[in-house]
Structures are given as C-alpha cells and as structure tokens.
RNA sequence: GCUGGAGUCGUCUAGUGGCAAUGACAAGAGACUGUAAAUCUCUCGCGCUUCGCGCUUCGUAGGUUCGAGUCCUACCUCCAGCA
C-alpha cells in the first residue's frame, strides 16, 4: 500500500505534529491512521503471544516484522509463496519491516562481525553458518516479503562509538541507502531512509540532509536507545535531526518505547515509534502504569512487577482508568498467579495491556497536540 | 525381632577426614528501548561495623582425630527383605 503523510496540526508551543498516514491499496481502498503512533513489534511475523485479533483490539496502526529473522526462517521464498507477509501472518493492516541493520548490531554484539563497504559478514544465531547481508539483499528480501514500508539497510552504531567512527559510519550508511534505493523494485512498497550520527549536531544534520536528498517515502532516526545511551543524548539525536526532515514526510524514531521518551520525541517533531519493550516487559511480568519513577538517569517508565508478592491479594485491575481487555476483565491477583505459574496467558494479557497502554498514550498526546497543550500534558505526566 | 539401606537450607539433592556445605526447584528482589530475551542478574542458616567478622548447623547423644556431614558406639525415625 502506498503511503501519504499529512500534517493536520502543528502544536503551537512545540514541534509536535498531529498527522495522518493514508495507505492506499492497489484497488484504491484506503486505511488512515493518526500520528503520533506507536507500532507494536512482531519480529517473526507474530506479535509474541498475541493473535492478530488481540493485536487489533489494541487499535494499532502499523506493526513491525523483521527482515533478518524472516530471511533465515521461513525464508522470503516461503512468504512469497504464501502470497506475501500479510497473507502469511493474517495481518491485513500495514506492516513495516526493519532492514536487519539492527540485528547486525544486537546479534553480533561482542562477537565477530565484519562491516565492510560491500555489506556485513556475521554468523547465523540459529545454526552458526556464515551470513552476508548487503543493502541490496535487505531491500530485495523486503520486496519479496511485500511489507508496506521497507527500511534502508543502515549501520546501527553502538552508543560508545566515537565521532570519527560515526562520521565514517554515516557516510557508508548513506551509500548503502543509495544502493538499496537503486534495487528497490516494488511499486506498492514505501521505502524509508535512516538518519544516523549519534548525539552530534553536525553529523545528524549532514546525515539528515543527505538522506532527504535521496527522496524517500519517509525518514527514520536510528541509533538511539542503544547500550547505556543517556536520555540526554537520545533527545539530542532527535532534536538535531528533525529540523532537516521535510514537513510532508512521516518521521520515525526507531526502537523507542518508554512513554517519557515518546513524549520528549513528539515534542521534538517525531511521529511514529516502535519498541519491543511492551511485549518483552509483559513476558517478564511487568505492566506499564501511568506516571514516571525517578532514577539516577532521570524519569523512567513506571510499571508494576506483577510477580511481586504484594499483588497476591490485590483484586483490582492493573489500571483503574485503562480501557484494555485485560483491565476490563482481570485482576492483579490473577495476573500475579498466572505469571507465578508461568502460564502463557499471563504474557498474553500483559502484552495486550502494555501495547494498549502505549497506543492510548499516543491517543492522549494527539488530543493534547490538537488542543495545543502538550507541555501541560508533559508537566502533568512528569508530576505523577 | 533379625538383616540390609537411608536421615544434609521450605522441598528434592551433591558431598567418604579440612565445609556454612553442591545443584535444581520454591521463595524474595532487580534489569529489560528498530526482540539471540515467556530471558538474564542478585539474595536465600543466624547476627554484625557485610569485598570482611562472629556464632550455630548435616536425626539425637557420646567417642576417635589437630580437624567429623564424612570414621566408631548407642539410641530415635523411615524404607526394603526375612520372620
């Protein structure tokens, strides 16, 4: 589905945008979703522990899948044979595929990997066989998967990378973007470029301007929230990038999912986000709740660890104001029990809650933008 | 009653002369940001001034030994076989 982005309203006090993404199918039918938007992650063609119906009930727009994982299993050939990723996984909303660039960073962390101009050599985590991923290959796989949004193959450098390394890296990422764009061959698929450059203003600016010159369907900001990157650096990466991105294209901050980070990034002009944290935290027994907790690194997401003994006799829902299926029907004591017993349904119920929590949070931000009171919304949010 | 075997952290378990003592589970807590994660880390005899010190522990009571969960004796309990 081809994508069109329109700004509905720019918030008066900040750079926040209320926008809409309109997807138009081959037959002319459209699907429209408002931004700011949170996109749940379904790496292996499934949002872990959830059926498509359960995902749908959280009211998401786009969901993610991953090129690297689907490349190895079941292979793009199988997905093509199934009639594309939508048919294969029974998800008929929009799908964004990440390029595999992040896997080079996360899988090969502390391990042998070889990033060359041509591409990246690393080892399969499934069977140890040598793999070689190039920008062309990543795009070709995504073409075959037939996702709605393909991401350029970028290098996601660690937060510890220094200026000299990053300068080199962003230039190579630009060349990789160019190469990927050249082989991109799926008229129904949108292709996004990715801005890199760490926390450095000139690098982000350079990367953004050069990426925009290539004219993509949308732009992502990558390389944030890695390792122990400070929140300050993350927000810098965002505010040094967005000024150089076109107003009429959607802006995607990759991998960010803490409510406080969503808010700070929306204020700096970001539209869409994805993150594994709601589903991972869920499988680990944690439920997102309103407010923040203060840490030495600043305000962080607030959450309940339902495995804690204190919830054994707590017969209230996770959130009294939450409208999700879990909060409408189940108590903390029940979730505590399920997580203690290792029952899969516990992970499902918490995933539903956490995803809905972030999507609802985006809905609240949209209302605040519409009414030009996003800073007030932030003050209120940080007060809790 | 006789013969053989066994009794170690909440549970199961390692341990045949140097041990506050193995592993698993349970329990208590923490971490998690483009998913190698339904995973990982820490604590888990008691007390303290807790990168250390002190005390008390391996069914009970004695004994041998510089030193005993480990060897010896008696007793208690459980299991198996024989009566």
Beta-bridge mates of residue A130: A123
**For A75, how many CA atoms within 13 A lie in the half-sphere containing its CB?**
3
Contacts of A162 (CB under 8 A, 6+ apart): none
Q: Which nucleotide is nearest to A153 (CA to C1')?
A: B34
User: What does the pLDDT average to over A79-85?
Assistant: 97
Give the pair of three-digit tokens for residue A79: 């997905």
Are A318 and A287 spatial neighbours (Cβ–Cβ below 8 Å)?
A: yes
pLDDT, tens digit, 9 for 90 and up, residues A137-188: 999 999 999 999 999 999 999 999 999 999 999 999 999 999 999 999 999 9
pLDDT band at A90 (very low <50, low <70, confident <90, very high): very high
Q: Which long-range contacts (CB under 8 A, 24 or more apart) does A227-230 make?
A: A227/A158, A227/A159, A227/A160, A228/A159, A229/A159, A230/A297
- Å from the A94 CA to the B51 C1': 55
Strand boundaries in chain A, DSSP class E: 2-10, 17-24, 30-35, 37-40, 63-66, 95-98, 114-115, 120-123, 130-133, 149-151, 190-195, 218-221, 250-253, 272-275, 286-295, 298-305
Per-residue pLDDT of A116-149, as tens digits, reads 999 999 888 888 889 999 999 999 999 999 999 9
Return the closest-CA partner of residue A16 out of A25, A3, A7: A7
Answer yes or no: is the ipTM higher than 0.90: yes
Residue A282 CA, nucleotide B24 C1', distance (Å): 26
Residues pairing with A7 in the sheet: A19
* Separation of A281 CA and B38 C1' (Å): 10
Q: Which nucleotides of B are covered by protein (CB under 7 A)?
A: 26-40
Residue nearest to nucleotide B26 (CA to C1'): A340
Predicted pLDDT at A384: 73
H/E element holding A331?
none
Map tokens 């997102």 to a residue: A288
- Give the closest nucleotide to A346 (alpha carbon vs C1'): B38
What pLDDT digit, counting tens, does each position of A39-63 carry? 999 999 999 999 999 999 999 999 9
Per the omega criterion (within 30 degrees of 0), is the bond before A36 cis?
A: yes
Rounded to whole angstroms, the Cα distance separating A330 from A335 reads 7
DSSP A157: -
> A2-274 domain in CATH 3.30.465.10?
no
Q: What backbone phi and psi angles, to 5 degrees, belong to A304? A: -110, 135
Number of H helices, E strands in chain A: 15, 16
pLDDT at A112 over 70: no
Query: Residue A115, Cβ neighbours under 10 Å: how many?
Result: 16
Integer Cα distance of A278 and A100 in angstroms: 21
Q: Which nucleotide is nearest to A43 (CA to C1')?
A: B35
Residue A252 pLDDT level (bands cut at 50, 70, 90): very high
Closest listed residue to residue A121, CA positions, set A129, A105, A133: A133
Q: What share of chain A is helix, strand, coil (3-state, %, to 5)?
A: 40, 20, 35
Widest Cα–Cα separation across chain A: 60
pLDDT the model gives residue A110: 59
Q: Calculate the CA A352 to chain-centre distance.
A: 17
According to the model, what pLDDT value does residue A111 have?
66
Backbone Cα Rg of chain A: 20
Q: How long is the CA A101 to C1' B8 vector, in angstroms?
A: 53
Determine the distance between A367 (CA) and B79 (C1') in angstroms: 73
Would you call A217 helix, strand, or coil by DSSP? coil
Give the C-alpha separation, A290 to A321, whole Å.
10
Say which range, A59-63, A297-301, A310-314, A340-344, has the weakest mean pLDDT.
A297-301
Model pLDDT for residues A187-231, shown as the tens digit of each residue: 999 999 999 999 999 999 999 999 999 999 999 999 999 988 999
**Closest nucleotide (CA of A154 to C1')?**
B34
Annotated active-site positions of A, please?
A: 98, 274
User: Over 70: is that where the pLDDT of A233 sits?
Assistant: yes
> How far is Cα A243 from Cα A240, in angstroms, rounded to an integer?
7
């Amino acid at each position: 589905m081809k994508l069109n982005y329109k700004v509905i309203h720019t918030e008066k006090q900040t750079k926040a945008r209320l926008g809409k993404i309109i997807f138009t199918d081959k037959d002319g039918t459209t699907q429209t979703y408002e931004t700011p938007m949170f996109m749940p992650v379904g790496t292996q063609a499934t949002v872990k522990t959830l059926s498509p119906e359960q995902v749908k009930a959280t009211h998401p727009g786009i969901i993610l899948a991953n090129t690297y994982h689907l490349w190895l299993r079941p292979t793009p050939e199988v997905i093509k044979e199934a009639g594309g990723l939508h048919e294969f996984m029974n998800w008929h909303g929009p799908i964004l595929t990440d390029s595999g660039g992040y896997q080079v960073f996360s899988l090969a962390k502390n391990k042998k990997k070889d990033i060359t101009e041509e591409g990246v050599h690393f080892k399969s985590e499934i069977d140890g066989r040598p793999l070689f991923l190039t920008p062309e290959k990543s795009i070709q796989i995504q073409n075959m998967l037939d996702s709605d949004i393909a991401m350029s193959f970028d290098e996601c450098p660690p937060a510890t990378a220094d200026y000299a390394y990053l300068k080199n890296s962003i230039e190579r990422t630009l060349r990789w973007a160019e190469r990927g764009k050249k082989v991109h061959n799926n008229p129904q698929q949108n292709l996004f470029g990715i801005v890199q450059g760490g926390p450095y203003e000139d690098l982000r600016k350079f990367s953004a301007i050069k990426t925009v010159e290539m004219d993509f369907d949308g732009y992502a900001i990558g390389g944030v929230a890695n390792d122990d990157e400070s929140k300050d650096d993350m927000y810098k990466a965002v505010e040094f990038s967005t000024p150089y991105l076109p107003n009429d294209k959607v802006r995607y901050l990759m991998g960010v999912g803490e409510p406080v980070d969503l808010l700070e990034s929306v204020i700096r002009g970001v539209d869409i986000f994805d993150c594994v944290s709601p589903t991972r935290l869920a499988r680990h027994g944690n439920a997102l709740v309103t407010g923040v907790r203060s840490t030495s690194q600043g305000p962080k997401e607030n959450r309940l660890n339902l495995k804690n003994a204190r919830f054994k006799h707590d017969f209230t829902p996770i959130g009294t104001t939450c409208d999700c299926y879990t909060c409408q029907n189940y108590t903390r004591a029940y979730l505590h029990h399920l997580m203690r017993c290792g029952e899969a349904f516990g992970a499902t119920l918490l995933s539903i809650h956490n995803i809905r929590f972030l999507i609802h949070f985006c809905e609240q931000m949209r209302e605040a933008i519409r009414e030009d009171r996003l800073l007030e919304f932030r003050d209120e949010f940080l007060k809790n």
